[in-house]
């Protein structure tokens, strides 16, 4: 069983260093680059659990960053048979490796003795659902972001049906 989810927190939508510019109207969500959105904007509690092992549990991660990272793992798994989820602010890494029709998960910290696995199709479906749910939440809560090239790029990254279905296994807690 795979669970990837986030818990929105409007107090963490805007990075502390950008609050004044945001209030003054000098920052527009539609014009922020993907890199800007990936660093500090929309930092929500994120959970990532595979087979009962919590790789992330209520970790505060920028939602756009985790969505891009997960979307890129789909491409990397398809191209290389392996992928990594890493974090700018720490040395923690979650490694993914294709083993037949399964994805095996290991980590640089607190790794379980027996690495958890899930079906490749399940992983692809949950990642796609997570990205779709995250993008929908952002547009719902901050409509100006709907025109962001970053959201268009994210949707394109996960739109390839060759990697599996969209599913509805992503979780959003409000």
- Tell me the domain boundaries of the chain: 2-172
Give the SS3 label for residue 158: helix
Give the whole-angstrom CA distance, residue 37 versus residue 55: 23
* Residues recorded for the chain: 174
DSSP per-residue letters across 94-133: EEEEEETTEEEEEESSS--SS--EEEHHHHHHHHHHHHHH
Report how far residue 18's alpha carbon sits from residue 89's, in angstroms, rounded to the nearest whole number. 19
In this structure, how many other beta carbons lie within 10 angstroms of the beta carbon of residue 158?
24
In angstroms, the CA 145 to CA 31 distance is 8
Query: Residue 104: its pLDDT value, please?
Result: 94
Among 39-43, 81-85, 156-160, name the most confident range.
81-85
The model carries a pTM of 0.86
Per-residue confidence (pLDDT) for residue 86, from 0 to 100: 87
Q: What per-residue confidence (pLDDT) applies to 118? A: 95
CB 143 within 8 A of CB 14: no
What token pair was written down for 3? 């669970």
């Amino acid at each position: 069983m795979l669970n990837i989810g986030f818990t929105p927190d409007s107090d963490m939508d805007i990075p502390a260093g950008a609050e004044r510019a945001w209030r003054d109207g000098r920052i527009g969500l539609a014009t922020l680059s993907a890199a800007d959105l990936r660093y500090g904007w929309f930092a929500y509690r994120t959970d990532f659990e595979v087979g009962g092992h919590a790789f992330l549990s209520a970790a505060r991660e920028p939602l756009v960053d985790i969505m891009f990272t997960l979307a890129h793992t789909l491409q990397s798994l398809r191209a290389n048979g392996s992928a990594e989820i890493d974090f700018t602010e720490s040395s923690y890494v979650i490694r993914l490796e294709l083993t037949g029709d399964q994805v095996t998960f290991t980590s640089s910290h607190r790794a379980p003795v027996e690495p958890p696995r899930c079906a490749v199709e399940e992983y692809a479906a949950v990642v796609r659902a997570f990205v779709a749910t995250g993008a929908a939440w952002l547009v719902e809560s901050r409509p100006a972001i709907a025109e962001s090239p970053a959201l268009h790029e994210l949707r394109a990254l996960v739109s390839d049906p060759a990697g599996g279905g969209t599913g509805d296994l992503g979780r959003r807690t409000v």
